[in-house]
């Protein structure tokens, strides 16, 4: 159905200043806006996100007639399940990819409203009449803490486990996405982005950028602002304006040249590990793109025989050496011994204080396939164990989603023992039944 509203859209994805490859994927078209953020590290999250977007982009076609709300959301749910199944097929073909997964945020446009599908921690925002609102809800560990009132939104941005997601498309666990409708009106501006942007830019900064310029300008500025704010992740932003017939006529030239945009890992699905030089991001420094770094200067040295050193040194003047001041040797060994004793005492006191502090710390980890609460610090020194099992649980690691169990293996920090128990309760809620399906 061709409705009274149209989308003027733009999409951009940048590898960022820290990551070696881009595991984000995005797509923007006349009927579809979507961002997927791959998870998996060595298991190639770029393949998961790229595969998902390649499946989801099939939604980008003129809807067949007037769709009911159920039909609209059914098409979104079907596309997400097809992406889920396709990821599963790829993992079956290549077991080395086991553990890969991706977030997915989908806005499917029918000319009047949006059908929204969401899983993970990528986000969708609506900017309307100078006000911004987040229309998706993160499926993350820190969001569960916010929902319980245990931390605030600003605190979640610096939480050590802010990247621990509880739901994703992984081709294995049937984690149902959030599905809902969003009404639109002319003048609205939509943003879909990965957490590389939303993790460092608060609502006020997002609204500031979205308030000006074209979708192209806003998308570029959002990526630039994210990198300048210190984002250490890939950054992907999809921006779209909602236009009525009059507004669309005013932008007729821009709309006539507009083509669907595929960005990030989905633009080139790589089946082999990246080789060659590090991918170059769009933004490498400040606004000029210059990091201020200089190339090292290579000195032109003559060819020298193998037994000749290339770094000459000036000889010491014998007269200077003769009259140079010298430290008196008297009682030297006594001062050296006292210095060593003092240093040893300081080291002992610091070590004792550190040990005492460590025994008041707790974290949630894994032992023999079971979630366990540990007392101590989640690290070790040669010959020294800084933590020990303190309380066992009945939460089995192999019954948790892969992306959750990986976080448990890395260790989840807790404020105290009560906090650790609360974390275990949250994990128990994610544990699948004996049949292998995730409990919803």
Would you say residue 228 has pLDDT above 90?
Answer: yes
Integer Cα distance of 92 and 85 in angstroms: 11
CATH code: domain 362-430 is 3.30.70
Integer Cα distance of 26 and 37 in angstroms: 9
SS3 content of the chain, % helix, strand, coil (to 5): 35, 25, 40
pLDDT bucket at 432, cuts 50 / 70 / 90: confident
Predicted local distance difference test score (pLDDT) of residue 269: 65
Predicted local distance difference test score (pLDDT) of residue 114: 96
Percent of the chain with pLDDT over 90: 56
The superfamily (CATH) of domain 6-267 is PPM-type phosphatase domain (3.60.40.10)
Integer Cα distance of 209 and 197 in angstroms: 12
Would you say residue 413 has pLDDT above 70?
Answer: yes
Looking from the CA of 382 toward its CB, the CA atoms found within 13 Å total 0
All CATH 3.30.70 domain ranges in the chain, comma separated: 362-430
Integer Cα distance of 322 and 101 in angstroms: 72
All CATH 3.60.40.10 domain ranges in the chain, comma separated: 6-267
Query: pLDDT tens-digit profile of 143-198?
Result: 999 999 999 989 998 898 888 999 999 999 887 899 999 999 999 999 999 999 99
Query: pLDDT tens-digit profile of 368-389?
Result: 999 999 988 887 777 677 788 9
pTM above 0.95, yes or no: no
Q: Give the residue from 151, 157, 199, 232 showing the smallest Cα distance to 414.
A: 151
């Amino acid at each position: 159905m061709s409705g009274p509203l149209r989308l003027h859209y733009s999409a951009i994805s940048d590898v960022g200043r820290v990551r070696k490859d881009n595991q984000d994927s995005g797509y923007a078209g006349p009927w579809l806006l979507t961002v997927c953020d791959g998870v998996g590290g060595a298991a190639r999250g770029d393949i998961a996100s790229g595969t998902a977007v390649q499946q989801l982009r099939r939604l980008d076609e003129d809807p067949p007639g007037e769709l009911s709300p159920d039909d609209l959301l059914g098409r979104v749910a079907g596309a997400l399940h097809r992406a889920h199944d396709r990821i599963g097929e790829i993992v079956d073909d290549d077991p080395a990819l086991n553990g890969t997964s991706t977030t997915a945020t989908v806005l499917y446009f029918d000319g009047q409203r949006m059908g929204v599908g969401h899983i993970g921690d990528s986000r969708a925002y609506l900017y309307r009449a100078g006000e911004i609102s987040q229309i998706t809800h993160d499926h993350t560990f820190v969001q569960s803490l916010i929902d319980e009132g245990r931390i605030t939104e600003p605190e979640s941005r610096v939480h050590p486990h802010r990247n621990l997601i509880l739901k994703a498309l992984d081709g294995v666990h049937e984690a149902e996405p959030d599905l809902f409708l969003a009404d639109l009106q002319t003048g609205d501006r939509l943003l879909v982005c990965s957490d590389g942007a939303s993790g460092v830019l608060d609502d006020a900064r997002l609204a500031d950028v979205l308030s000006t310029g074209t979708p192209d300008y806003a998308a570029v500025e959002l990526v630039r602002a994210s990198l300048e704010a210190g984002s250490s992740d890939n950054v992907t932003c999809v921006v779209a304006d909602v236009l009525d017939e009059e507004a669309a006529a005013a932008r007729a030239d821009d709309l006539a040249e507009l083509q669907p945009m595929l960005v990030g890992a989905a633009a080139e699905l790589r089946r082999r590990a990246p080789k060659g030089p590090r991918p170059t991001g769009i933004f490498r420094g400040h606004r000029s793109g210059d990091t201020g770094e200089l190339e090292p200067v290579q000195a032109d040295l003559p060819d020298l025989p193998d037994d000749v050193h290339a770094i000459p040194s000036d000889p010491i003047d014998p007269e200077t050496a003769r009259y140079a001041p010298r430290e008196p040797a008297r009682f030297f060994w006594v001062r050296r011994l006292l210095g060593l004793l003092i240093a040893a005492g300081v080291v002992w006191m610091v070590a004792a204080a550190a040990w005492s502090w460590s025994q008041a710390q707790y974290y949630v980890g894994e032992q023999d396939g079971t979630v366990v609460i540990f007392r101590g610090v989640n690290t070790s020194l040669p010959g020294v164990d800084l933590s020990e099992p303190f309380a066992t649980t009945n939460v089995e690691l192999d019954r948790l989603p892969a992306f959750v169990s990986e976080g448990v293996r890395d260790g989840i920090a807790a404020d105290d023992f009560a906090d650790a128990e609360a974390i275990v309760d949250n994990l128990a809620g994610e544990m699948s039944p004996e049949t292998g399906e995730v409990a919803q």
